[in-house]
């Protein structure tokens, strides 16, 4: 609550104090929260090495979100030497523990071929699992596969369906993609007014591509 300013003025220092108390008492969530603060520079200088220490402690204690974070730090060489094999091990552990973000991470690495051979079927599999687990990122990424025809036949109707589900869950990228489809008449009648509605929603949610498109269109 202190970290997010819920019911109190936001106070990262006090939030961290309580997370440390929780971690000292053996709570894996407290350990993960300390790691998250270090990873993202919330109230403390960004320190990936310290983030890895705390996220690894949390992951070893069974925290699924921490497993995904450990995988991310390994994949990107943050706080540790880059380790693709270790990244996959931890993403799989997180996914097996039910973490939707880890499932999405696996979908991304298979889609992009970043640390494993590109495999759109595996990407579809993991994005689907993430979507079933309620991940808006998983839903949005499924939409991209259908829109681009990556590993499946291009299907704009299915793409739009997944983008709308993701947008309803607050995903800014999906909002941008809905705007893109209306702007270009992909699977829907071309409709600039609808495109602008969705692009503005995406921009308000922080999507850079939507802001760029609105600027190019001369819209605010």
Question: pLDDT per residue over 137-167, tens digit each?
Answer: 999 999 999 999 999 999 999 999 999 999 9
Q: What sign does the dihedral 1-76-107-85 (CA atoms) show?
A: negative
58 and 146 belong to one structural domain: yes
Range of the structural domain that residue 88 is part of: 12-172
166 and 181 belong to one structural domain: no
pLDDT digits (tens, 9 = 90+) for 21-72: 999 999 999 999 999 999 999 999 999 999 999 999 999 999 999 999 999 9
pLDDT of 92 higher than 90? yes
Q: Using an 8 Å Cβ cutoff, are 189 and 166 in contact?
A: no
Asked if residue 211 belongs to a domain, the reply is yes
147 and 203 belong to one structural domain: no
Contacts of 122 (CB under 8 A, 6+ apart): 106, 107, 110
Question: How many CA atoms does the CB half-sphere of 213 hold within 13 Å?
Answer: 26
CA-CA distance, 160 to 146, in Å (whole number)? Answer: 9
């Amino acid at each position: 609550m202190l970290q997010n300013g819920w019911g109190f003025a936001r106070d990262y220092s006090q939030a961290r104090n309580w997370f440390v108390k929780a971690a000292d008492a053996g709570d894996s969530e407290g350990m993960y929260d300390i790691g998250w603060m270090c990873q993202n520079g919330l109230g403390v200088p960004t320190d990936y090495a310290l983030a890895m220490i705390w996220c690894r402690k949390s992951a070893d204690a069974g925290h699924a979100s921490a497993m995904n974070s450990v995988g991310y730090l390994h994949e990107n060489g943050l706080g540790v030497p880059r380790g693709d094999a270790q990244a996959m091990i931890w993403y799989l552990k997180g996914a097996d523990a039910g973490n939707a973000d880890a499932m999405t991470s696996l979908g991304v690495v298979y889609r992009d071929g970043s640390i494993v051979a590109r495999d759109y079927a595996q990407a579809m599999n993991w994005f689907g699992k993430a979507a079933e687990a309620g991940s808006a990122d998983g839903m949005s990424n499924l939409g991209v596969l259908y829109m681009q025809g990556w590993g499946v036949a291009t299907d704009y109707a299915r793409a739009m369906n997944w983008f709308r589900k993701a947008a309803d869950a607050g995903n800014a990228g999906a909002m941008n993609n809905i705007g893109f489809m209306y702007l270009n008449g992909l699977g829907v009648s071309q409709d600039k007014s609808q495109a602008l509605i969705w692009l503005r929603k995406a921009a308000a949610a922080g999507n850079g591509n939507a802001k760029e498109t609105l600027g190019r269109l001369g819209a605010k």
